[in-house]
Structure 1
Amino acid sequence: MRRRAGLGLAAAALALAGCGSSGEAASPPAGPSPSSAGAPDATSSGAPEAALPDLDEALSTPVEDSLYPDVGDPGVDALHYDLELDWDPATDTLTGTQTLTLRAAETDDDFQLDLGAPLEVSGATLDGEPVEVSHTGKDLVVEAPVVTDERYVLVLEYAGTPRPVDAPTTRADFDSLGFTIDAEHQVWTMQEPFGAYSWYAVNDHPSDKAYYEFTLSVPSPWTGIANGLQTSSEDDGTTTTTTYALDDPAASYLVTLAFGDYQRTDDEGPGGVPITYWTPRGEDQYLDGLSTTPEAMAYLEDYLGPYPFASAGAVVVDSESAMETQTMVTYGDTDYATSPATVVHELVHHWYGDQVTPTDWRDVWMNEGMAMYLQLMWEAEQEGTPLDTFLDRYRAYEAEQREAAGPPGDFDPTRFGEGNIYYGPALMWHGLRDVLGDDRFFEIVRGWPASRDNANADRDGFVSYIEEQSGEDLGDFFDAWLLGTTTPG
């Protein structure tokens, strides 16, 4: 996570736990000094044209969430979102044309998407024919029959001033999700466990992954930023239009959008992975932490295998947290949110959370536990402290969080994203490492994401994989850590 969470959560948790006076990360390792450039000009970005995706790769089995059943529809399997979005900061108006290719997962008289109430649909077609829609609250119902496994193309025209949605948490560092407008009328988004529906019509559930393409327009010299590779950028003197393509399917909570006055900096990761940092113009200080991305990526590849996507990036926004939005991480504009420790955490999620994604929000611990564990491993190394000693600092805080918000695998749904899903699972992974030994443990940690490439998984599938690979019966071990009311000894 971290919305204002993720490592923003880690920062808050560190403060609450009394582990350090400021929650700041260790000094960053030495790294390259990327060159900076201004906002995109009228020329192409030079990025390769994106190949048309094979939509079969985005086939999903959507489910109704056990914690948040009112968001998402298991009858819809989104395959490809093509979003043409225009932001007018003078009126705070978003104007969108959305083309959604979908598979009907159920036969029904109609189907439903999630779309925020402030956005009004002015036109809709299904397979080129006009279609009626009804829009009550966030529920957008397309009044047309669909047949299981048939594919359809829905085009929507809509506009309005998006509003963020309430977050199901008691955390102090954020209380809303989705489309956010700052004091300068710039835009950013973070949307876990939901909230993508605040700015486009979406099956807003992690079990439904899809491809994305974006065409973003905003008055110059501002620019629009989204996931994936930037495939073009044009400035006609009045409007800047950028296009992006995400070449692997993504869950809706992993999509990002930003409009603002940004400066672009290019870098390169291991194996030549292109990395792009988008920072507020004139605020180069954020590059100090973000430019450790290549080193962090190399560190993690030793444990997790090759970085699983074709590009990487970062966009800095007016937030207190960070969020592992796929290939374009959304970082808050604080020292901690852009620190090397946060960079490590959010990059881990590209294997645990992005490459393989929970089927249900009950299993968000699969994402956060491994990201926190590898972050803490990295921090212990930077500090020169034995890992066992370093982790002991968090045990009391973990117990407090488990008592307050519930066990990591059975938490209170009104307390999403709190410390219980981070620190308990991180300590659990360290305990499993002790049981299995380093070689078997890290072989399993590395093998799991690749075994579920671009797919979803739940606890049963994950535990079964670990038991098969280790030859151990680990049911009681995982029950104690994930469902127990007290921290295992």
Structure 2
Amino acid sequence: MRHTLAVVALAATVLTTACTAEDTPTPAPSGSIGPVVPAIDFATWAAGRSTPVADPLYPEKGNAGLDVLHYQLDLDWQPTTKILTGVATLRIRPVANANEIKLDFTGLTVDRVTVDDKQVTGTVTADKLIVPAAVAAEQPVTLTVAYHGTPKQVKMPSRRGDASEGIGMRTSKDGVLWTMQEPWGALTWYPVNEHPSDEALYDMAVTVPEGWTAAASGTPGKVEGNTFHYQSTDPAAAYVTTLAVDRYSKVEQKGPHGLPLTYFTVPKADDRYLGVLKKSPQLLTWLEERLGPYPYPSAGALMNGSISAMETSQMLSMGREAFRETDLKEFEAVLVHEYAHQWFGNAVTPRTWTDLWLSEGFATYIQYVYEQKLYDFDDAALEASLRENDADLRKRVGPPGKPKAGTFAESNVYICPAAMLKELNDALGDEKFFALARAWAEKNRNTNQDRAGFIAFVNAETGKDFTKLIDTWLDSPTTPQ
């Protein structure tokens, strides 16, 4: 996502599972409609196994009792009627015994629900899909939901400038479809366990009319007629999934070590951005030199009508309306920020929204390091700007390690932890700091992490105790001296 910070008199824009061993199955509760042993080998989706937790800021979202391993989304979008028709097939590992399956879902009509191929009922109320089917811990089930309707955005719990347009799936008058969805919004277009601690594998098949193109998160796959396929073989949190349907033109490139790159732009509307997008091979090479190998099998970006930008997995979502009045250098800096999130936020994901600073701080600091080259300013200028903005943000919004539910992803969780990381860099030096960043991304890939895990990792990797430095920068009501 996106907001603005002045750095050296410049408007520098900054945006925004652990696996465990199988437990011994417990008996199914009375009334279970599914077989004790599923007919399907759920080991196929073992990489999607997570350890879901309840969120301290938004306990109403997500279900810590369910671990969705895989989403198969078969979607059809009709621009003239603005109707999205979907069949979502979820492979679910229940974490605990329960008398119902409860997921996040809103705004669309449920047509049919089955659990292990047996038809059941499904009711949508208070942004939840409730299926009265008993499940037992460690006895996987297959939930299939057929639905249709016109997606509608929901409110974002924030005072950000881009929060006014809402979050989730939206459509324009001419039938264009796109989504921006942090901390939630996937619930507006498919039934989902909407919490970052439950990451899953994805397969999407999106059918659109002739002349239209569907672009989505994951690796682009085959195109069968007017059906576009995308696959995520690394687990992804729901907030970094995306889908956009427009009259796109597709451009393909090769990145470092042959990495497939794909850009989806609308002719004329996005012509000014295409040249910067085509710099992605150089940008990713620059990032790899500091952060280690890019963590996914493909990369790219789609342009949409948002006034923000988002680190959607393997396919960045870049809102053209966010950059209409800006220098293209700003677009380039934000592109670096969102690519950096593929290491910090996507491959290593915060366990709860309390630790959003863990991904935004890294992406923001990496962006600033790149901007030093882009805009030619030194460490002293960056230090002064960070401290000035840090002091103001702590006073107005609070420290980054103690976010409030109504101020999601405001500037304090970007700039304040970026200032902390600069202090850590100053203490270690560039070589050791970026070795630490590489190790964090590589050793914790496809896991969820929190403050305690980060501090323990930093101390173990460096052989020094940085607990006080990190805690002070995360919790102090004023800028640490």
The TM-score normalised by the length of structure 2 is 0.90
Distance apart, 1:396 and its partner CA: 1.4
Q: Do residues 360 (structure 1) and 349 (structure 2) align?
A: no
CA drift at 1:453: 1.3
Q: How do 1:69-468 and structure 2 match up within 5 A?
A: 69-116=59-106, 118-175=107-164, 176-235=166-225, 240-282=226-268, 283-333=270-320, 334=323, 339-468=331-460
Paired with 2:118 and 2:151, the residues of 1 have a C-alpha distance of: 27
Please tell me the residue identity of whatever aligns with 1:241: T
Q: For residues 226 and 446 of structure 1, do their structure 2 counterparts lie closer, same or farther at Cα, with a shift above 3 Å needed? A: same
Checking the alignment, whether the CA contact within 8 Å between 2:13 and 2:334 is kept in structure 1 is no
**Which stretches in structure 2 are left out of the alignment for 5+ residues?**
15-41
Distance 2:445 2:472 in 1: 28
Rounded to whole Å, the distance in 1 between the matches of 2:148 and 2:477 is 47
Asked if 2 retains the 8 angstrom alpha-carbon contact of 1:104 and 1:146, the reply is: yes
Q: Is the 8 A contact 1:398 1:419 kept in 2?
A: no
Mapped to 1, the partners of 2:336 and 2:342 lie a distance apart of 10
Q: 3-state SS of the aligned residue for 2:372?
A: helix
Opposite residue 165 of structure 1, the aligned amino acid is V
- Give the letter aligned to residue 411 of structure 1: P
Q: Which amino acid aligns with 1:272?
A: G
Is this contact kept in 1: 2:219–2:230, CA < 8 A?
yes
Change (3 A) 1:296 1:18: closer
User: How far off its partner does 1:436 sit?
Assistant: 2.3
**Inter-partner Cα distance in structure 2 for 1:392 and 1:260:** 43
CA distance in 1, matches of 2:445, 2:43: 16
Alpha-carbon shift at residue 387 of structure 1 (Å):
2.2
Give the drift of 1:18: 8.5
Q: Secondary structure at the match of 2:167?
A: strand
Deviations 1:22-64 (A, max 9, x none): 5579xxxxxxxxxxxxxxxxxxxxxxxxxx9941111101011
- Paired residues of 1:75 and 1:111 also in contact (CA < 8 A): no
Structure 1 counterpart SS, 2:289: helix
Distance in 1, matches of 2:139 and 2:396, equals 46
Deviations 1:190-246 (A, max 9, x none): 1111111011000000000001111111112011111122222134xxxx2111111
Deviations, residues 390-428 of structure 1 (Å, cap 9, x unaligned): 332232122111221111110222111111011111110
Root mean square deviation, CA, Å: 1.7
Distance in 2, Cα, partners of 1:24 & 1:100 = 38
Q: What's the secondary structure of 1:314's corresponding residue?
A: strand
- Structure 1 residue 278: Cα displacement: 0.1
**Equivalent position amino acid for 1:461 in 2:** G
Among all aligned residue pairs of Structure 1 and Structure 2, give the percentage whose two residues are the same amino acid.
Answer: 38
Counterpart Cα distance in 2 of 1:439 and 1:317? 38
Q: 1:295 aligns to what SS in structure 2?
A: helix
**Relative contact order: is structure 1 or structure 2 higher (C-alpha 8 Å, sep ≥ 6)?**
1
TM-score (norm. length: structure 1): 0.88
C-alpha contact (below 8 Å) 2:306/2:318 kept by paired residues: yes
The amino acid of 1:269's aligned partner reads G
Cα 1:305–1:24 shift into 2, 3 Å: closer
Distance 1:233 1:372 in 2: 36
Partners of 1:255 and 1:485 in 2: CA distance: 34
- Work out the number of aligned pairs and report it: 447
